[in-house]
């Protein structure tokens, strides 16, 4: 696995309010048959959060947080499709649905890999919000 540095920008829009969050992290990546696997620790004020991303065959699965601590988010994305997602926090479970509008991944100059995901998040028929995540993965020597 190769070492990498990560820059994450998330834009969240709920009703008439919008917020942009920027974070950083360190981790590793590997190219697998038909895709990529990323693991990194996202720097956070309350402590680092482990993140795992699998990109394969035009789909993406992202796990953020600790399954062992029963405190995590599991998101699935495929353009134009509804996918089941789950958030577990403080022993409460929230089942949600993502509807992916955009999922782009590029390896521009072999040192920077870029991932963009735009999606709507629903609880039943209720739209929770619109989300856009941009992640830049920088290879480190």
Q: What are the structural domains, with CATH classification, of the chain?
A: 2-139 (2.40.128.20)
Per-residue pLDDT for 141 more than 80?
no
Spell out the residues 6+ positions from residue 139 whose beta carbon is closer than 8 angstroms to its own: 2, 3, 4, 110, 111, 112, 113
Q: How far apart are CA 12 and CA 126, in angstroms?
A: 16
Residue with tokens 């996202």: 42
Reading the block at residue 98, the tokens are 């993502």
The pLDDT tens digits for 10-27 are 999 999 999 999 999 999
Neighbouring-strand partners of residue 66: 71
pTM value? 0.93
Strand ranges (DSSP E) for the chain? Answer: 2-14, 17-32, 35-42, 49-56, 59-66, 71-78, 82-89, 92-107, 112-123, 126-139
Give the per-residue pLDDT at 69.
83
Query: Cβ distance 96 to 122 under 8 Å?
Result: yes
Q: In this predicted model, what pLDDT tens digit does every residue of 16-70 receive, in sequence order?
A: 999 999 999 999 999 999 899 999 999 988 889 999 999 999 999 999 998 888 8
């Amino acid at each position: 696995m190769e070492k990498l540095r990560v820059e994450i920008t998330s834009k969240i829009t709920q009703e008439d309010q919008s917020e942009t969050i920027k974070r950083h992290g360190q981790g590793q990546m590997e190219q697998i048959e038909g895709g990529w696997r990323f693991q990194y620790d996202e720097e956070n004020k309350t402590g680092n959060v482990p993140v795992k991303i699998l990109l394969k065959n035009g789909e993406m699965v992202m796990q953020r947080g600790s399954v062992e601590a029963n405190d995590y988010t599991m998101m699935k994305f495929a353009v134009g499709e509804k996918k089941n997602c789950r958030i577990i926090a403080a022993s409460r479970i929230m089942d949600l649905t993502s509807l992916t509008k955009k999922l782009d991944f590029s390896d521009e100059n072999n040192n920077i890999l870029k991932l963009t995901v735009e999606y709507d998040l629903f609880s039943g028929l209720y739209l929770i919000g619109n989300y856009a995540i941009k992640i830049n993965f920088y290879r480190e020597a």
